[in-house]
Structure 1
């Protein structure tokens, strides 16, 4: 993603392009959680990452659970 966003910025295209990446689940919010499969999948909360197109720098780390 870094290479893509950097390339778009270098070419002057980042302001008119929106790059999005998301997933249907996140990782467990529990520190030190060890799951049998070693992945710590947390299906109650997914993620969405966006850049470009005038999107401001923000971070959100909340869910309703």
Structure 2
């Protein structure tokens, strides 16, 4: 099973991160964060961005880690 990127991004944004700050933290464009938030991207997400999202999610949203296994 792959992680639910849309839910992970939603959790991170709910944790207080802004879209621009999230993009900076995972080293991608703000438009990619927008696409991930809408569910338009993520099926073929790069390993680098995926691991950064997962690490950030575990650090900021430990209670919401169910999104990692859907």
Larger RCO of the pair (alpha carbons < 8 Å, separation 6+): 2
TM-score by length of 2: 0.23
TM-score by length of 1: 0.23
More helix by share: 2
More strand by share: 1
Looking at CA atoms only, which structure, 1 or 2, has the larger radius of gyration?
Answer: 1
